[in-house]
């Protein structure tokens, strides 16, 4: 039996557990510091066993996944180093920053266990085991941060196990990871939160702000609902990189101030064009970095029953819809529905079907 121990069975730990559970020869043990959480993991069928004992979870484990907030990782690595781990045990983490945990693992004696840092580039603004999904990592990139001293055999074994996530493995140096992910994930979270809080302030004196908040505001601020503790830890941990990025960002907002003061329409046009060009080259439909699902949009008349019609037509064609959302609906004006699918194949079939029955589909 291959024993996999998961510490912190929340969004990410729970999604990993769902990928591994029930696979041939695998048993998944979930650990929580709280009895009630351990009981919940079992109730939801996410793990085979659950315990509040670190020793019980870790001993005999072939793989240990640390899926707790970044601020707790160092302590977990240290606590594990005090246990009698199975020779060859691979300890990995899923933290959104990589340099500090890699350094922590170097500071302790892990005996015959091996540490390999990891970070699946997929997630959600939701948290907890309730938000866990078997599909979360599908087609996403999954960063591993081995170094020259990491045995190749251990990297291969972890890579083989992670095939169950259906993610694409990439190797990145921890400090390079933190620089890049600071810009494409951490800074956007700060911007979303700052923007929501700016509008929240205005809304306190005029509630029309939230009433009128439509697609643009919702699209750019979805991640502003992310878990406060998880993100406190990420930002504090990556503060050096983020301070640098925020100073750069100030330069970006100052450039807009200048363009507006100078009524520099050409400059604004250029900024939007450059941004659109870069964005259009991003791997749009790949799950992870940009979209966490396969999505398309359809224009719909604003009348009751349209959602039912779309869902029924897709259901009748055996196309699995994972989510349907009205993103724009105004009286007498066509609305827009966002349809989400878990697989590229479902999206492709839906696009064909919706086209056949007269809907205008776009991405």
Ligand X SMILES: O=C(O)C(=O)C[C@]1(C(=O)O)C=C[C@@H](O)C=C1
Ligand Y SMILES: NC(=O)c1ccc[n+]([C@@H]2O[C@H](COP(=O)([O-])OP(=O)(O)OC[C@H]3O[C@@H](n4cnc5c(N)ncnc54)[C@H](O)[C@@H]3O)[C@@H](O)[C@H]2O)c1
Contact residues for ligand X (CB under 6 A)?
A: 96, 121-125, 185, 223, 292
Q: Which does 128 bind (CB under 5 to 8 A by kind): ligand Y, ligand X, none?
A: ligand Y
Rounded least distance, CB 61 to ligand X, Å? 24
Evaluated on CA atoms 294, 299, 304, 310, the torsion sign reads: negative
Distances in whole angstroms, Cα of residue 136 to Cα of each of 45, 180, 211, 335: 17, 21, 32, 29
Contact call for residue 234 and ligand Y (CB under 6 A): yes
Binding part of the chain for ligand Y, among 7-15, 175-183, 301-309, 354-362 by CB under 6 A, reads: 7-15
Cβ proximity to ligand X, 81 vs 92, nearer residue: 92
SS3 290: coil
| Total of chain residues touching ligand Y, rule CB under 6 A | 26
- Specify the long-range contacts of residues 223-226, CB closer than 8 Å, at least 24 apart: 223/125, 223/188, 223/189, 223/192, 224/125, 224/189, 224/192, 224/193, 224/195, 224/196, 225/125, 226/125, 226/127, 226/189
* 2 near ligand Y, judged by CB under 6 A: no
Supply the angle between the helices 228-237 and 187-205 in degrees, to the nearest 10: 130
Q: How far is the CB of 294 from ligand Y (least distance, A)?
A: 18
Least distance to ligand X, CB of residue 214, Å = 20
Closest distance to ligand X from the beta carbon of 279 (Å): 15
Report the residue number, 65 or 341, with the smaller CB distance to ligand Y: 65
Q: Is the dihedral of CA 231, 234, 238, 239 positive or negative?
A: positive
Exactly one of 29, 61, 64, 120 binds ligand Y (CB under 6 A); which one?
120
Binding site for ligand Y (CB under 6 A): 8-13, 32-33, 37, 67-70, 72, 94-96, 119-120, 123-124, 127-128, 227, 230, 234
């Amino acid at each position: 039996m291959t024993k996999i121990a998961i510490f912190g069975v929340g969004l990410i730990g729970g999604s990993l557990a769902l990928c591994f559970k029930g696979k041939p020869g695998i048993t998944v043990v979930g650990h929580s510091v709280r009895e009630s959480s351990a009981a919940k993991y079992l109730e939801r069928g996410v793990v085979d066993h659950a315990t509040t004992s670190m020793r019980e979870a870790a001993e005999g484990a072939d793989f240990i996944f640390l899926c707790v907030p970044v601020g707790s990782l160092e302590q977990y690595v240290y606590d594990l180093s005090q246990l009698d781990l199975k020779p060859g045990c691979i300890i990995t983490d899923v933290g959104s920053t990589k340099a500090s945990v890699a350094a922590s693992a170097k500071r302790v004696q892990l005996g015959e266990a091996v540490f390999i840092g990891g970070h699946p580039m997929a997630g959600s603004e939701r948290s907890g085991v309730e938000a866990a999904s078997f599909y979360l990592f599908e087609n996403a990139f999954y960063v591993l941060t081995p170094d020259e001293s990491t045995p190749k055999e251990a990297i291969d074994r972890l890579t083989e196990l992670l095939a169950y996530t259906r993610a694409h493995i990439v190797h990145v140096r921890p400090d390079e990871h933190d620089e890049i992910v600071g810009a494409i994930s951490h800074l956007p979270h700060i911007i979303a939160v700052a923007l929501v809080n700016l509008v929240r302030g205005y809304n306190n004196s005029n509630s029309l702000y939230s009433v009128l908040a439509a697609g643009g505001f919702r699209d750019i601020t979805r991640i502003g609902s992310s878990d406060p503790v998880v993100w406190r830890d990420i930002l504090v941990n990556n503060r050096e990189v983020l301070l640098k990025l925020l100073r750069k960002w100030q330069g970006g907002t100052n450039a807009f101030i200048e363009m507006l003061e100078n009524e520099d329409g050409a400059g604004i046009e250029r900024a939007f064009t450059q941004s659109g060009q870069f964005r259009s080259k991003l791997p749009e439909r790949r799950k992870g970095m940009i979209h966490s699902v396969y999505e398309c949009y359809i224009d719909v008349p604003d009348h009751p029953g349209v959602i039912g019609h779309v869902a029924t037509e897709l259901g009748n064609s055996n196309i699995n819809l994972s989510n349907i959302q009205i993103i724009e609906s105004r009286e007498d004006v066509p609305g827009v529905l966002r349809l989400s699918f878990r697989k590229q194949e479902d999206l492709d079939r839906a696009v064909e079907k919706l086209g056949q029955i007269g809907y205008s589909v776009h991405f």
